[in-house]
Structure 1
Amino acid sequence: MGPTAAVRVDPAHRRAERGRAERGLGRRHRAADVSVPPSALDPVVLHHIVNDLGWRDLRPLQRDAIGPIVAGEDVLLLAPTAGGKTEAAAFPLLSRMSSERWSGTSVLYVCPLKALLNNLEPRLRRYTGWVGRGVALWHGDVSTSARRSVLWQRPDILLTTPESLESMLVSVNVDHRLFFAGLRTVVVDEVHAFAGDDRGWHLLAVLERLTHVVGRPVQRIGLSATVGNPAQLLTWLQGSGAGVRPAQVVAPEMSAPAASAPAAQSAEIELDYVGSLSNAATVIATLHQGEKRLVFCESRQTVEELGLLLRQRDVTVFLSHASLSVDERRRAEQAFAEARNCVIVSTSTLELGIDVGDLDRVIQIDTPATVSSFMQRLGRTGRRPGAARNTLFLCRSADTLAAAAGLLLLWSRSWVEPVLAPPEPRHIVAQQLLAVCLQEHRVGDRLWPRCWNGLEPFGPAAEPIARHLIEHGYLDRDGGMLFIGPAAEQRFGRRHFMELTAVFTGSPEFTVLHGRAELGRVDPSLLTEQVHGDRRLLLSGRSWRVTYIDWRRRRCFVEPADGGGRARWPNRGWAGLGLELTRAIREVLLGADPPVKLTRRAVDRLVARREELSELVHPGGNVILRDKDGDLHWWTWAGFRTNATLTATLSDVVDPASRFDDFSIRLREDLMPSQWRELTTDAGQRLCLPEVSDKAVSGLKFSAALPKRLAVATLAARSADIKGAGTVLTEPTRFVNLRG
């Protein structure tokens, strides 16, 4: 049976099975033998939970989710990785599907990654088969014939991405009103991964358009790992239904007494300093032999380099990152799941709930940028009964060691970043106006806000953007109707407006081929820079010699080489550290240690780093330090966006080059303490948004469909931390001169 086949059960067989379930949960277990509440779920679902899965009980999350989901409420299910969130949503939905006789595609299951959908499909196919229902996949890697089968069969549950949903709505090959006529519920897996960036705004807008097409409210269920603001996240997920539809957060494991205990007491965390990637490879190759280890790195280049180093040490190693081909990643993940004594090295692509088998260890090279990310990675271990969750940090520099210690300090206090939608998504509004005109062909020039049920910023506040689209030919207007104009055809119309369905701009990478097999993609700079001798690439943890470059089709062909390969990709996703983490790093430098195991190397390097930076940190406030070369730096320890805001606000005293980073701002060399006090007295009342470069505007997808002033305003708002800047300006600042 293919992945898109719907499972159907003979009605007589189903009635007999239901009778057996109602008489006593099957022959192996009876109701008195189990703790699962027999009346809470459909008897057939309950029968299979007990006899097919062999469960004697449901987890607290799964028990508590039944009531609100069956009642049709909007719900946020919150639990650690591998906490049973998929089943908590699926079992009551299958029960509703049976009792309320849902027909057609009644449930959409939306994920941020195609790989996660592929991983979930066999599990959900098993569950839907219990009640004679079907499940199918629909995303960019699904074949045309499989999609035709989906449209014909209309499976009960469709696994998809927001981009693929958008494609279905605008496609001339999909009758979206007929296909979605039976839609009742949308499940959004890893909802926190959406909400924190523009994919979240895109998802919300598409869900509102689906609700408008269906003509009735659609239940929304979010599945998430730990977040710092669950109630706010649920309100965000509800969209236009917030305050109208009943909703609740279900998180029993998070509120239990064990969950409120210090996090460090329930996991085995070790912090080590190794000084180089080569030393990290030696530690990984030596420790925990015979176990399955997942190693996280913060860049694709580090993944490739570590993979090669481990292979040179005779370690069975597999790689996973976004620039490897789908087949390469799939083969690696499958081989890793089936192997025992091996290592898989990955970026954050394996941070989410993709099943790679029973892990023994998680190892972190340097440190992730957020506590939330660390908790996702930690949650990949400790799934066997009696096994503890664990992570070994291997830091290559003193700075990443201090950052890791700061992150673990926050984690030990049970602090997690709030998930906040990026402000002012005007470029997504422009994209959605174009998309809805593609979807409906013609839309009333006064009625279009109804397509999003009044949800801001897609409602009346979008009028200036609509006017701009009309004035510049992206939309045409005739007889009170709006439709796609010539500028939109020219700018976004290639390949049936495919570019319009994705909210991110992909980097112009070259596809790498060995024969007919696609290995992955590389940054074009590796193919254009001057080299002496063979041009060699590092991809999939192996070296390759470039034999031919097809510049027109952006492809290069390679053959195996015995070494010398190089890897490089731009780090486009870096947004800087936040205020809380940089302040925690300052605490570490002032002497605080996280309550985890520190190796002797880590202790010694932290002691040395504290001594090296002792002049830059002060427990009572901030430091303005003039170094031995006369350069003046304001050490705020406040994070990138806070420092960007302070730089814009205090432009009169900031170095003309406006140089700043996560920790400090460079000031004018001639600044005197008296001038500083005078200029900062009222600075908290005149905070400014950071300046935005033309290059940044051009990198904002769909910025071409916006007035430049609105594109600049969007990026400026997203670059700022007004609250953090105000906090820093209330703190005392002392001037320090280093002795020569």
Structure 2
Amino acid sequence: MSDFDRLHPSIRHHIVNTLGWPRLRPLQEHSIAPVLDGEHGIFLAPTAGGKTEAAMFPVLTAIAHHGWKPVSVIYLAPLRALLNNLLPRLELYCSFVGLRVGLWHGDTSPSERARMMAEPPDILLTTPESLEAMLISRRVDQDWLFPNLHTVIIDEVHAFAGADRGWHLKAVLERLTHVAGRDLQRIGLSATVGNPEELLEWLTGSSTAPRRIVNPPAEVLAEPEVTLDYVGTLDNAATVISRLHKGEKRLVFVDSRKRVEELALALRALDVTTYVSHGSLGRDERHRSEQAFAEATNCVIVATSTLELGIDVGDLDRVIQIDSPPTVAGFLQRIGRTGRRAGSSRNALFLTTSHESFLTAAGLLRLWASGYVEPATPPEFPAHLLVQQLLALTLQESALGLGSVTWTEWLGDPPALGQEAMEQAGPLLQHLQNIGWIHSDEGVLSPGPEAERSIGKRHFLELTSVFVADPLVSVRHGRVELGQVPDIAITAAFSVKGRPPALLLGGRSWKINDIDWKRRIVRVEPTDLQSSVRFSGGAQPLSYELCQSIAAVLEGASLEPVTLTARAVEALADAQGEIRGAHPGRTVIVSGEKSPRWYTFAGLKANLELAARLTGLRSQAGQKDNLYITLDEGVTKEQLRAAISQETLPEELEALAATASGALKLEQVLPEALITEIMVRRLRDAASVTKVAAAPIDTAEVAVD
């Protein structure tokens, strides 16, 4: 019997006759056995490689063959929009075997939730945050909804693993395992990850069941067409986009909501049909934009990475990248949006607007050409999430009571948040009791008065998110919510003297008519006034590997098969003339017209710590960069070597941690020493610092015109 023959007969019939597929793709064929045999797995395939079907066809077969009762499968994704996009497809697949799928997230109506509670679907689409909200809600009976759970599918698993959301996901999965009373099969789907073995080990947590990586050779595709250009400014980028590929559908990625807005405004000024998509736009506004783009032809949609994760916006002709994504993995997701239509090919055009972004793009494309993909590495020491999980568990178990001794059992063994973090459980519990955030009555835990006051009642839902977000205000035109922006975006609109306050949102200018701070609503109307928008966010740290690749490009490494425009060739020559002596594995002090720069090619994290060791050799203490550290005039190689050979002082590490204040969930209740330890461990790149400290130091001069 072939693996295909193990699928349910109805699914086999519909694959051939309804979907019209002559055969399964390699990943879909190879995933059948591990799913049906109950193994955990990481399933890897390029974007549009059929990962959803690879998991769903055998999972639906298992439900039908075993007669599992609902809810038997949970399908998790990082974005609501991705779940919305998946729903029609999964409804079709479920219909093949008479099963039902339901969608539950923050936008799901109360009536729809009530319907699913009364009649649970076989497969539930949701996010980890909504899943935790179900566990802690008094309106959801977890013992009714989850006792039949067998399998959890995690889409875009790499997007979770590289952030605190991944630790949160693991903790919620362990709690679900506890509720269901059985080991849950865990299946992670990803297009791009450099360390699948470690990711699978991390994902499976406390389970000892068999596990497997399914990563068959990808289907042979035509060589992608990748072009690197240097245009100098965002306005120039808009001009290039308006003139190239007319009549085609173009998706433009910009790694900043502010610059998305600015580019969209510039494109519309050039009479380009332009749509906008980013996380600060209202749900309806974003959906209308994405839907219109999907149905149009000669147009552009400008988006942040929210459209990186496979949300369907129709058949794309071109992907254009403004400047550079920070990772090869992100680039693979983006270029994978093209070439899905018969006769088309994968392609990407990089339009860089600064010398720094040009070098980043060049270094990234060199890594991509070499086949490198970054590992998905969870943030270190998530001890702060113990507080979030403890408070959530007190709400989840409010009826039966949460034991002060046994509460950690809910987080698995080995613990979902890691052994080091769990060692903080006892001290943290005592600390929370001391400050009134946890109450203990004969060993039964509940939220304390300070927790009730700070995040009680409706604010308890804030516990389900591990993000630390700026306070937001709703921007409305009439009854339509255009989006939600941080307070700073509104105050910035009033900061320009002599000009009425105006806001840029959705690629359009809006005059601010009224602000209701109590209800946090800003009312606007369309305007032709000059406007801007400000969102939070800082410089993106680059990896040591990417910075070393930039050094290789500066040394003269080939970028084949990437095509460089004439402007890009000139920009590369300029950079090579300005940064002389670059070489991977070595560092160089470059002197000339500017203050001396020590090019470490180590990344921002390593450079922050190295700069802390150089306090006496540099007066520009505020300077931060991924590639170099500014030195004072006259610093010698010997002085530099002596300084970086010293260990970083504890007080310097504490000062480093203070720069990231406010970055942790529930930081206001954490002990100061614990905050410092978490942030120091997350901000350090000890391995890269060690490499730089041991690397030879060269010197180079740049000729002054």
Query: Shorter-normalised TM-score: what interval?
Result: over 0.9
Q: Distance in 1 between matches of 2:571 and 2:33?
A: 53
In the alignment, which residue of structure 2 is the partner of 1:298? 255
Residue of 670, 675, 679 corresponding to 1:715: 679
Q: Which piece of structure 1 moves more, 679-688 or 385-394?
A: 679-688
What letter is aligned with 2:438?
Answer: L
Change (3 A) 1:681 1:395: closer
Gaps of 5+ in 2: none
Residue of 189, 211, 216 corresponding to 2:182: 216
2:373 matches 1:408: no
Q: Secondary structure at the match of 1:465?
A: helix
Residue of 470, 492, 498 corresponding to 1:507: 470
Identity %: 49
In the alignment, which residue of structure 2 is the partner of 1:9? none
Q: Distance in 1 between matches of 2:640 and 2:656?
A: 25
Q: Secondary structure at the match of 1:691?
A: helix
Residue by residue, what CA displacement relative to the aligned partner does 1:545-583 show, whole Å, maximum 9, x if unpaired?
A: 1111222222211111124122221225x4411111111
Q: Distance in 1 between matches of 2:504 and 2:305?
A: 20
Q: Distance in 1 between matches of 2:4 and 2:466?
A: 45
Contact 1:292-1:340 within 8 A present in 2 as well: yes
In the alignment, which residue of structure 1 is the partner of 2:432? 469
Residue of 532, 537, 542 corresponding to 1:577: 542
Deviation at 1:675, TM superposition (A): 3.4
Residue by residue, what CA displacement relative to the aligned partner does 1:491-539 show, whole Å, maximum 9, x if unpaired?
A: 2215150111111122223221111111113323334424313222211
2:84 matches 1:118: yes
Q: Distance in 1 between matches of 2:585 and 2:546?
A: 18
2:229 matches 1:272: yes
Contact 2:383-2:424 within 8 A present in 1 as well: no
Deviation at 1:651, TM superposition (A): 4.6
Q: Distance in 2 between matches of 1:237 and 1:144?
A: 32
Q: Which piece of structure 1 moves more, 181-190 or 580-589?
A: 580-589
2:205 matches 1:239: yes
Deviation at 1:620, TM superposition (A): 6.7
Q: Distance in 1 between matches of 2:437 and 2:116?
A: 33
Residue of 289, 294, 307 corresponding to 1:350: 307
**What TM-score do the two structures reach when normalised by structure 2?**
0.94
Q: Secondary structure at the match of 2:660?
A: helix
Q: Distance in 2 between matches of 1:359 and 1:525?
A: 38
Residue of 106, 109, 117 corresponding to 2:72: 106
Residue of 111, 135, 140 corresponding to 2:106: 140
Residue of 43, 50, 58 corresponding to 1:92: 58
Contact 1:508-1:524 within 8 A present in 2 as well: no
2:418 matches 1:446: no
Q: Which piece of structure 1 moves more, 458-467 or 311-320?
A: 458-467
Q: Distance in 2 between matches of 1:690 and 1:227?
A: 33
2:196 matches 1:230: yes
Q: Which piece of structure 1 moves more, 598-607 or 692-701?
A: 692-701
Q: Distance in 1 between matches of 2:59 and 2:500?
A: 58
Change (3 A) 1:683 1:734: farther
What letter is aligned with 1:327?
Answer: D
* Residues 533-682 of structure 1 aligned to structure 2 (within 5 Å): 533-572=499-538, 574-595=539-560, 596-614=562-580, 617-618=582-583, 621-628=586-593, 631-651=595-615, 653=617, 655=619, 657=621, 659-667=623-631, 669=633, 671-681=635-645
Contact 2:493-2:533 within 8 A present in 1 as well: no
Q: Distance in 2 between matches of 1:739 and 1:208?
A: 61
Q: Distance in 2 between matches of 1:354 and 1:628?
A: 48
Q: Distance in 2 between matches of 1:447 and 1:729?
A: 46
Residue by residue, what CA displacement relative to the aligned partner does 1:668-705 show, whole Å, maximum 9, x if unpaired?
A: 55644443344445659999856345463333221123
In the alignment, which residue of structure 2 is the partner of 1:22? none
Change (3 A) 1:594 1:526: same
What letter is aligned with 1:102?
Answer: W
Q: Distance in 2 between matches of 1:156 and 1:205?
A: 23
Q: Distance in 2 between matches of 1:485 and 1:521?
A: 32
Q: Distance in 2 between matches of 1:98 and 1:72?
A: 15
Change (3 A) 1:684 1:248: farther
Q: What value does the CA root-mean-square deviation take over the aligned residues? A: 2.3
Residue by residue, what CA displacement relative to the aligned partner does 1:584-629 show, whole Å, maximum 9, x if unpaired?
A: 11221222231111111111121122112226x3567212345446
Q: Secondary structure at the match of 2:498?
A: coil
Q: Distance in 2 between matches of 1:685 and 1:486?
A: 40
Q: Distance in 2 between matches of 1:387 and 1:36?
A: 33
Deviation at 1:477, TM superposition (A): 1.4
Q: Distance in 2 between matches of 1:517 and 1:659?
A: 43
Change (3 A) 1:38 1:277: closer
Q: Distance in 2 between matches of 1:496 and 1:304?
A: 31
What letter is aligned with 1:520?
Answer: G
Residue by residue, what CA displacement relative to the aligned partner does 1:71-113 show, whole Å, maximum 9, x if unpaired?
A: 1100111011111000000000000001000001000000100
Deviation at 1:217, TM superposition (A): 0.2
Change (3 A) 1:618 1:81: closer
In the alignment, which residue of structure 2 is the partner of 1:77? 43
Q: Secondary structure at the match of 1:614?
A: coil
Residue by residue, what CA displacement relative to the aligned partner does 1:436-477 show, whole Å, maximum 9, x if unpaired?
A: 111112211111111112213464552222221122221111
Deviation at 1:655, TM superposition (A): 4.2
Residue by residue, what CA displacement relative to the aligned partner does 1:213-243 show, whole Å, maximum 9, x if unpaired?
A: 11110000000112110111111111112xx
What letter is aligned with 1:268?
Answer: E
2:338 matches 1:381: yes
Deviation at 1:667, TM superposition (A): 3.8
2:223 matches 1:286: no
Q: Secondary structure at the match of 1:577?
A: coil
Contact 2:42-2:188 within 8 A present in 1 as well: yes
In the alignment, which residue of structure 2 is the partner of 1:171? 137
Q: Which piece of structure 1 moves more, 186-195 or 443-452?
A: 443-452
Contact 2:160-2:166 within 8 A present in 1 as well: yes
Contact 2:251-2:303 within 8 A present in 1 as well: yes
2:274 matches 1:308: no
Contact 1:196-1:421 within 8 A present in 2 as well: yes
Q: Secondary structure at the match of 2:589?
A: strand
Contact 2:229-2:567 within 8 A present in 1 as well: yes
What letter is aligned with 1:253?
Answer: P
Contact 1:125-1:134 within 8 A present in 2 as well: yes
What letter is aligned with 2:550?
Answer: I
2:217 matches 1:253: yes
Q: Distance in 1 between matches of 2:623 and 2:351?
A: 30
Deviation at 1:134, TM superposition (A): 0.5
What letter is aligned with 2:409?
Answer: R
In the alignment, which residue of structure 2 is the partner of 1:21? none
Gaps of 5+ in 1: 1-34, 260-264
